[in-house]
């Protein structure tokens, strides 16, 4: 007997047909800070040229590049110190390109500038309380949260900030990110001029902050440490983005020696 080929059965359709298994819908991580084709500079001098990148909620982005690449200009443009001449800067999908720095701060943006950024004539306690957002009733809770991360400041609360060591002043500056409970923190060379031991402490504090889900955009001279903590890296050269992606796709030594020209 010759076997006859089995006729193909068309797949069942209609309400009685087997349904594919339900897969959970994974919501997209919202974008906290976005640069879209931003041009910015100082007077007639253009520094940023069509810069585009984004920082998502809970993400740590390292902004790296040689001196003069425009890294600090990016932070100043993001915080409102400089306004773009073209393109847009968005916070939580709201165009803030023309908004003043205090309005951006009210929406959860926190800038930790290069050079400490503390009020030297005020005590440590006064500096911390000054950073607590208006209307927050439990200011001491916010201060205590910062002191948990920087216990070295606990015994210096009544000391003028100008009497602190450079490392302690930087701790006080970085403590602002814990007191204000921001959506995104911009950090400009927080390790500059610090002893290696203090630099390690700064990066421990940044890792602790990252663990809370706070987004960060970091400009940092310690490239190895910055790449180790980062979820994404943006390379900037002469005001133009040359790479935007995960650090795993970059050769660290090439970045150090070839791109940045330093070890």
- How would DSSP label each residue in the chain? -PPPPPPPPPPP-STTSPPPPP----PPPPEEEEEEEEEEEETTEEEEEEEEEEEETT-EEEEE--TTSSHHHHHHHHHTSS--SEEEEEETTEE-TT--HHHHHHTTEEEE-SS----TTSBHHHHHHHHSPTT-S-HHHHHHHHHHH-GGGGGGTTSBGGGS-HHHHHHHHHHHHHHS--SEEEEE-TTTT--HHHHHHHHHHHHHHHHTT-EEEEE-S-HHHHHHH-SEEEEEETTEEEEEE-GGGS-HHIIIIIIS---
Cα 18 from Cα 245, distance rounded (Å): 41
Give the tens place of pLDDT for each residue, 70-85.
999 999 999 999 999 9
Whether 207 and 200 have beta carbons less than 8 Å apart is answered as: no
The answer to the question of residue 18 being in a domain is no
Query: Given this model, what pLDDT does residue 141 score?
Result: 81
Q: Is the pLDDT of residue 59 over 60?
A: yes
Give the chain's domain count.
Answer: 2
- Considering the domain architecture, whether residues 120 and 248 belong to the same structural domain is answered as no
Q: How many degrees, rounded to 5, is the angle at CA 216 between CA 195 and CA 34? A: 140
Q: Classify residue 261: in a domain, yes or no.
A: yes
- Domain end among 181, 204, 232: 181
In a domain, 140, yes or no: yes
- pLDDT > 60? residue 9: no
Q: What is the pTM of this model?
A: 0.84
pLDDT digits (tens, 9 = 90+) for 137-184: 556 788 888 899 999 999 999 999 999 999 999 999 999 898 888 999
Which tokens is 232 given? 């994404």
Residue with tokens 């009544």: 158
Residues 138 and 104 in one domain: no
Residues 102 and 205 both lie in one domain: yes
Residues 169, 191 within the same domain = no
Question: Same structural domain for residues 200 and 239?
Answer: yes
Q: Is the same domain home to 48 and 77? A: yes
Q: Where a domain ends, among 126, 155, 181?
A: 181
| 189 and 262 both lie in a single domain | yes
Q: Are residues 144 and 187 in the same domain?
A: no
Per-residue pLDDT, 79: 97
Residue 139 lies in a domain: yes
Same domain flag for 66 and 104:
yes
Determine contact, residues 209/241, Cβ cutoff 8 Å.
no
Sheet of 184-188, strand order: 109-112, 184-188, 215-219, 60-64, 232-237, 240-245
195 pLDDT higher than 80: yes
**Which range of residues forms the domain containing residue 63?**
30-108+182-263
Assign residue 206 the CATH number of its domain.
Answer: 3.40.50.300
Q: What is the pLDDT of residue 251?
A: 76
pLDDT number for residue 49: 96
Is 194 part of any domain?
yes
Mean pLDDT calculated for residue range 22-43: 85
How many CB atoms lie under 10 A from the CB of residue 2?
A: 3
141: in domain: yes
pLDDT at 263 over 50: no
User: Does residue 67 lie in a domain region?
Assistant: yes
Does the residue 195 lie in any domain? yes
Pair (206, 152) in one structural domain: no
Same domain, yes or no: 38 and 148: no
């Amino acid at each position: 007997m010759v076997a006859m080929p089995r006729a193909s059965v068309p797949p069942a359709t209609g309400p009685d047909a087997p349904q594919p298994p339900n897969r959970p819908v994974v919501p997209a991580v919202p974008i906290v800070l976005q640069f879209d084709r931003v041009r910015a500079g100082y007077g007639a001098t253009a520094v940023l040229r069509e810069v585009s990148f984004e920082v998502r909620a809970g993400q740590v982005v390292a902004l790296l590049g040689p001196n003069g690449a425009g890294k600090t200009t990016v932070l100043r443009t993001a915080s409102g110190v400089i306004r773009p001449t073209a393109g847009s800067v968005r916070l939580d999908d709201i165009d803030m390109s023309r908004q003043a720095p205090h309005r951006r701060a009210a929406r959860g943006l926190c800038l930790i500038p290069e050079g400490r950024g503390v009020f030297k004539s005020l005590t440590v306690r006064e500096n911390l309380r000054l950073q607590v957002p208006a209307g927050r009733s439990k200011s001491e809770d916010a201060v205590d949260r910062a002191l948990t991360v920087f216990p070295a400041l606990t015994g210096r609360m009544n000391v003028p900030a100008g009497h602190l060591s450079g490392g302690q002043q930087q701790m006080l500056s970085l403590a602002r990110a814990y007191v204000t409970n921001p959506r995104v923190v911009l950090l400009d060379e927080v390790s500059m001029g610090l002893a290696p031991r203090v630099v390690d402490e700064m990066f421990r504090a940044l890792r602790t902050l990252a663990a809370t889900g706070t987004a960060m955009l970091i400009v940092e001279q310690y490239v190895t440490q910055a790449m180790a903590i980062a979820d994404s890296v943006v390379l900037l050269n002469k005001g133009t983005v040359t790479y935007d992606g995960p650090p795993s796709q970059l050769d660290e030594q090439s970045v150090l020696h070839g791109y940045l020209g330093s070890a």
